[in-house]
């Protein structure tokens, strides 16, 4: 039996903090020990196999990024991080679990799609991983398959109100799938943007010669997001389906979610670091084709309209419950460049899996969220939302020893040649400075990162069979 003791740190949970030593046996946390126990002659430091000094550090549950797209075929190309490179980058940034999206394409069977994603990930991952299921075509066959997703440890599925001709589901299809969600307990995840109206606006803008990346944001106006969010909420209300809206970026969409929650509906919202820090004016409008680096959907919103401030506020007040990345990386050369002269051909996506914990910690430094809330929105809530809590998202006896030592007096300079391990030729976060540093990362008791060195390996990460959402009765 391998034993590890993390000694002298401040253990932070979603509900509080205190000095405690964490004892690990093999892959599990077995005890939290008060410092006083050492004075009583119970100092375990001399008897464990590995002793980690956490003095001055926060000891927090490993990050859970519940929205990633590793090697996802999309927009005529494929997301540039493989499960190997993407999960390694995640580990560097203190994320020890991802939930990626398996895809059922049009004309394909759901379980063939799921199997394909198992094949891509199996034996490749540095950290643990689970899957949501994208239902790309709601039909009798896929509705039947949904009856069996929970048995596979896939307790959530995603539908798109955007991307007509690719992943798009119309209202009738959404209605049918949500009925199934209510019957099976699967959580309905929705990409809420009015796809057909967006496509009409894209055509209009291009015909006026408005081809720059900035117009991606114009075409995907906040009205498109608010309307679709409202429609999703109403369909969920009608069918009694639990609803989780992904990558919320518009303050008007947040208001829809808040109203539904006040109304007693099981509705949840996720936002992403890009909607808290970046804007349509500063990044999408960077000039020329540069803005392509920040083309993602939903799009970056206007700084002048203060969407970013509202998003921080919503995180504080729990109108938005958690932060994922929607990690969907594309290189500038050869991938983003596909959209030179036509913004609608730029592959949609930003890579952030490596930086989520740091970027959200900067919210603590800036006084936008508390330290405990940081743990909650990056780890504990994702664990509960997606049926992993107890095993993940908490430092407590019986939990997997997925632990991050975070150094609040350290510093992280984000950018190529600095802290960049994602398989991308640029960083959407170039130049960001973080007043904190991921110091040590453990996944199921194994040290993956220590002293700025990667000690992990592909194949360490295991598939997590998830239970149903733990916010539902
Ligand atoms: N949005 C993105 O930016 N990329 C992948 C898919 C999505 O919905
Ligand atoms: Zn989406
Ligand atoms: Zn996504």
pLDDT tens for 337-368 read 999 999 999 999 999 999 999 999 999 999 99
Does ligand 1 lie within 6 Å of residue 70's CB atom? no
- What's the gap in Å between 271 CA and the centre of ligand 2? 11
Domains of the chain and any CATH numbers: 62-385 (3.20.20.140)
Tokens of 339: 């959209």
- Give me ligand 2 centre to Cα 459, in Å: 28
The secondary structure of 234-288 as a DSSP string is HHHHHHT--EEE-S---HHHHHHHHHHHHTT--EEEEE-HHHHH--IIIIITSST
Q: 327 in ligand 1 pocket by Cβ < 6 Å? A: no
| Residue pLDDT, tens place only, 13-70 | 999 999 999 999 999 999 999 887 766 666 788 889 999 999 999 999 999 999 999 9
Helix residue ranges per DSSP H, 282-422? 307-317, 356-365, 371-375, 381-385
The tokens for 3 are 């034993």
44 CA to centre of ligand 1 in angstroms:
48
Atom of ligand 1 nearest to the CA of 74: 5
| Ligand nearest to C-alpha 349 | 1
Best mutation site among 297, 298, 424 for ligand 1 pocket (most ligand atoms within 8 Å of CB): 297
**C-alpha 279 to ligand 1 mean position (Å):** 17
Task: Tell whether ligand 1 has an atom less than 6 A from the beta carbon of residue 69.
Answer: yes
Looking at residue 35, its pLDDT comes to 80
Strand-pair partners of 78: 73
Please list, residue by residue across 275-308, b when 16 or more beta carbons sit within 10 angstroms of its beta carbon and e when fewer do. Answer: bbbbbbbebbbbeebbbbbbbbbbbbbbbebebb
Cβ(233) – ligand 1 distance below 6 Å: no
Distance CA 241, CA 142 (A): 17
Which DSSP string do the residues of 402-465 spell out, in sequence order?
Answer: -EEEEETT--EE-STTTT--SS-SS-TTTT-EES-EEEEEEETTEEEEETTEE---TT---B--
Picking from 172, 174, 237, 165, the residue whose alpha carbon sits closest to that of residue 198 is: 165
Instruction: Tell me the per-residue pLDDT of 213-255, one tens digit each, with 9 for 90 and over.
Output: 999 999 999 999 999 999 999 999 999 999 999 999 999 999 9
Our answer on whether the CB atom of 75 is closer than 6 Å to any ligand 1 atom is no
| Tokens describing residue 201 | 């606006």
Cut 0.95: pTM above it = yes
Query: Given the CA of residue 162, which atom of ligand 1 is nearest to it?
Result: 8
Tell me, in angstroms, the distance from the centre of ligand 1 to residue 329's CA.
10
**What per-residue confidence (pLDDT) applies to 46?**
85
CA 134 to centroid of ligand 3, rounded, Å: 10
| Residue 39 pLDDT | 62
The reply to whether ligand 1 has any atom less than 6 angstroms from the CB of 198 is no
Q: Check pocket membership of 191 for ligand 1, CB cut-off 6 A.
A: yes
Summarize pLDDT for 418-450 with one digit per residue, the tens. 899 999 999 999 999 999 999 999 999 999 999
Residue 251 Cα to ligand 3 middle (Å): 19
Confidence check: pLDDT of 415 > 90: yes
What are the residues facing 4 on neighbouring strands? 24, 50
Res 338: pLDDT: 98
> 230 forms bridges with which residues in the sheet?
none
From the CA of 191, the nearest ligand is: 2
Q: H helices of 11-62, where?
A: 36-37
Query: For atom 7 of ligand 1, which residue has the closest CA?
Result: 297
CA–centroid distance, residue 347 to ligand 1 (Å): 9
The answer, yes or no, to whether residue 170 has pLDDT greater than 90, is yes
Is the shortest distance between the CB of 297 and ligand 1 below 6 Å?
A: yes
348 C-beta closer than 6 A to ligand 1: yes
Distance from residue 246's CA to the centre of ligand 2 (Å) = 6
Return the residue whose CA atom lies nearest to atom 4 of ligand 1: 349
The whole-number pLDDT of residue 42 equals: 67
* 329 alpha carbon – ligand 3 mean position (Å): 11
Of the residues 67, 69, 160, 284, which should be mutated to test ligand 1's pocket, given the most ligand atoms within 8 Å of the CB? 69
């Amino acid at each position: 039996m391998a034993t590890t003791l993390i000694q002298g740190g401040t253990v932070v949970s979603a509900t509080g903090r205190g000095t405690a030593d964490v004892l690990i046996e093999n892959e599990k946390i077995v005890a939290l020990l008060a410092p006083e126990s050492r004075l009583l002659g119970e100092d375990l430091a001399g008897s464990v196999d590995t002793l980690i000094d956490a003095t001055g550090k926060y000891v927090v549950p490993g990050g859970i990024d519940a929205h990633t797209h590793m090697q996802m075929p999309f927009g005529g190309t494929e997301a540039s991080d493989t499960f190997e490179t993407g999960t390694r980058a995640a580990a560097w940034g203190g994320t020890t679990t991802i939930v990626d999206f398996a895809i059922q394409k049009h004309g394909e069977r759901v379980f063939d799609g799921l199997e394909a994603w198992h094949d891509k990930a199996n034996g490749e991952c540095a950290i643990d991983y689970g899957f949501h299921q994208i239902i790309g075509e709601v039909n009798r066959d896929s509705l039947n398959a949904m009856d069996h997703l929970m048995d596979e440890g896939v307790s959530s599925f995603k539908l798109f109100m955007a991307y007509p001709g690719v992943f798009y589901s119309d209202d009738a299809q959404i209605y049918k799938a949500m009925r199934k969600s209510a019957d099976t307990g699967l959580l309905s995840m929705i990409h809420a943007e009015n796809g057909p109206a967006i496509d009409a606006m894209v055509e209009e803008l291009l015909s006026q010669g408005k081809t720059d990346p900035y117009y991606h944001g114009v075409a995907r106006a906040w009205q498109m997001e608010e309307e679709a969010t409202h429609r999703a909420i109403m369909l969920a209300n009608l069918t009694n389906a639990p609803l989780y809206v992904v990558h919320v970026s518009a303050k008007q969409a947040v208001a829809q979610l808040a109203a539904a929650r006040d109304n007693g509906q099981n509705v949840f919202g996720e936002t992403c670091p890009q909607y808290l820090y970046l804007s349509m004016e500063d990044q999408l409008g960077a000039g020329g084709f540069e803005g392509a680096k920040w083309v993602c959907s939903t799009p970056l919103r206007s700084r002048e309209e203060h969407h970013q401030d509202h998003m921080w506020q919503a995180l504080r007040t729990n109108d938005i419950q958690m932060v994922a990345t929607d990690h969907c990386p594309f290189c500038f050369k050869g991938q983003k460049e596909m959209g030179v002269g036509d913004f609608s051909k730029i592959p949609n996506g930003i890579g952030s899996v490596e930086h989520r914990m740091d970027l959200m910690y900067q919210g603590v430094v800036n006084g936008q969220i508390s330290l405990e809330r940081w743990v909650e929105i990056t780890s504990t809530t994702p664990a509960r939302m997606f049926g992993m809590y107890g095993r993940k998202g908490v430092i407590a006896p019986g939990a997997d020893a997925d632990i991050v030592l975070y150094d609040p007096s350290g510093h992280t300079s984000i950018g190529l040649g600095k802290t960049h391990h994602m398989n991308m030729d640029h960083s959407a976060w170039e130049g960001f400075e973080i007043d904190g540093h991921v110091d040590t990362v453990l996944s199921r008791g194994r040290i993956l990162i220590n002293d700025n060195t990667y000690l992990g390996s592909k194949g360490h990460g295991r598939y997590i069979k998830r239970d149903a959402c733990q916010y539902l009765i």
